[in-house]
Amino acid sequence: MSRSPLGKTLVIANPAAHSGAGEKGARFAEDFLRSYAAATKGFEVVRTSASGDAVGIAECAGAFDSVVALGGDGVIHEVVNGLMRVPEDARPKLGVIPMGSGNDFARTLGMKRNDAEGALAQLVRGHARSCEVGRVNGVHFMQTLSIGLDAAIALDTTKKRAEGTAQEGEELFVRSALRILSGTRSGYRVSAAFDGEPAAELSTVVFAVQVGPTYGGGFRICPDADPADGLLDVCYNVKLPGTPRILGLLGLARFGAHTGSSVVELRRIRHAELRFDDEPPCQVDGEELCGREFTVDVVPAALKVIFP
């Protein structure tokens, strides 16, 4: 085995992830790391029991060399927010064993999804790279901030997964989009200022800020987003299209082919100030965020993340 980047390792597992697959993954991780002593310099596996647990566990992980989040994007989001509370000089590396329905951060990293054995094999042979995280109103995100109809769709898919729907990934995202867009007539008025430029007045339907390329289970909303470039990628509409056009753009976005449309604009930023007339739907890595004003920043090289 080549030199493992894990060192002393804490695995934070959500046993309820992906209809109980998280618990199976946690047991496999325990057996694997116990059997292959060279993979770590000692390890612990801690299971969460409630939403928010992983934040506090990760915050207290400064004695470890790496923290591995086992579960869906929700537990990864919590682990990232906990790690960002650890002083930078003591902050462990981040690894992921993706056991969820969306797994968009895992797509960014190139990790095997819903395959604990495959993901662990990637981690022990992997390498660490410095990656940025986003921050909005003090909340960190490792993949996506979205505001508007796309956020309403994302929150709806999160709710449906929690209810145990049989749909996953792209199918679930599209079904939620059809249901929500069918009742939509207008966008959300916002004053948006990027990197100190004069504010633009928009009526936004889609406003996505990305660390990595995808969200919604693989939709390539910002197809060229690079988690190690020190910038956030933004995709937002500059015209207010009708529902049929929105649905068409949604289909194109599955493959990142929407970027040539005159309806949308893409750009890279370090900072944004957003002020909405009315409170819009907003989600951060699938978690709801309430408010009308949002301050968005990039935190460059915030975390060392283990890539395959």
Residue range 258-285: mean pLDDT, rounded: 95
pLDDT tens for 57-115 read 999 999 999 999 999 999 999 999 999 999 999 999 999 999 998 899 999 999 999 99
Residue pair 94/306 in contact (Cβ under 8 Å)? The answer is yes
* CA 248-212-296 angle, 5° bins: 95
pLDDT tens for 153-173 read 777 776 766 665 545 555 666
pLDDT for 248 equals 80
Residue range 257-276: mean pLDDT, rounded: 95
Residue range 191-216: mean pLDDT, rounded: 94
How many whole angstroms separate alpha carbon 283 and alpha carbon 277?
Answer: 18
How many whole angstroms separate alpha carbon 185 and alpha carbon 242?
Answer: 8
pLDDT for 166 equals 47
73: tokens are 């994007």
pLDDT for 2 equals 65
Query: Highest-confidence range of 20-24, 29-33, 182-186, by mean pLDDT?
Result: 29-33
